[in-house]
């Protein structure tokens, strides 16, 4: 009540409800727009940094990366048998890849996603971006080929995690 004892008029509530409904519509739209922008940024970064990098080889290690005692990311260690680069190193907010001494350290994303999908644990051979295809081919223990869109996600990794494959020779 205001000092004169009058109640708020019904149209005041209508303005408040309209503002609330507008807020419920605008916030998700802005969030989705931001997510789309992040995806576009990620894809363009992959193309500019990794567009020409090709490698294939045998998977010699699957590592769970833990931070603060909790599993957070997963990495494949690949003994390279074919590549168009001798060495490559990239680590940033979005992406990561290390190729050195015939070994590729290949981040495959969130640990929970990688382990829920037994795909990665059963992979024995990979072919990454052959002919600038922007695809990853995974061959599993049953000799099935699984094709995924190319990515080099650095989710939940710290730069030092890229050294985990150095001992997999």
pLDDT digits (tens, 9 = 90+) for 123-136: 899 999 988 888 88
Asked if residues 67 and 79 have their Cβ atoms less than 8 Å apart, the reply is no
- Angle at the Cα of 143 from the Cα atoms of 137 and 144, rounded to 5 degrees: 55
- Angle at the Cα of 79 from the Cα atoms of 86 and 155, rounded to 5 degrees: 85
**Partners of residue 70 on adjacent β-strands:** 67
- Residue owning tokens 């995690």: 161
Asked if residues 157 and 109 have their Cβ atoms less than 8 Å apart, the reply is no
- Angle at the Cα of 159 from the Cα atoms of 31 and 140, rounded to 5 degrees: 80
Select the more confidently predicted residue: 73 or 87: 87
pLDDT digits 0-9 by tens, 140-152: 888 888 888 877 7
- What's the pLDDT at 27? 80
Q: Which helix (H) or strand (E) holds 28?
A: helix 10-50
Quick one: tokens of 117?
A: 């999908």
Confidence of residue 57 (pLDDT cuts 50, 70, 90): very high
pLDDT digits 0-9 by tens, 74-118: 888 999 999 999 999 999 877 889 999 999 998 887 766 555 556
Confidence of residue 8 (pLDDT cuts 50, 70, 90): low
- What's the pLDDT at 105? 93
């Amino acid at each position: 009540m205001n000092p004169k004892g009058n109640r708020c008029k019904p149209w005041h509530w209508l303005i408040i409800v309209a503002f609330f409904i507008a807020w419920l519509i605008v916030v998700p739209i802005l969030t989705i727009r931001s997510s789309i922008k992040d995806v576009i940024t990620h894809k363009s970064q992959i193309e500019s940094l990794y567009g020409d990098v090709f490698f294939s080889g045998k998977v010699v290690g699957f590592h769970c990366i833990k931070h603060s005692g909790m599993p957070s990311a997963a990495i494949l260690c690949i003994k390279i048998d074919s590549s168009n680069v001798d060495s490559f190193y990239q680590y940033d907010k979005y992406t990561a890849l290390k190729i050195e001494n015939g070994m590729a350290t290949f981040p495959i994303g969130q640990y929970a996603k990688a382990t829920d999908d037994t795909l990665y644990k059963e992979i024995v051979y990979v072919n990454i971006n052959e002919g600038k295809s922007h695809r990853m081919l995974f061959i599993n223990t049953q000799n099935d080929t699984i094709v995924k869109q190319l990515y080099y996600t650095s989710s939940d990794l710290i730069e030092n995690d890229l050294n985990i494959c150095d001992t997999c020779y």
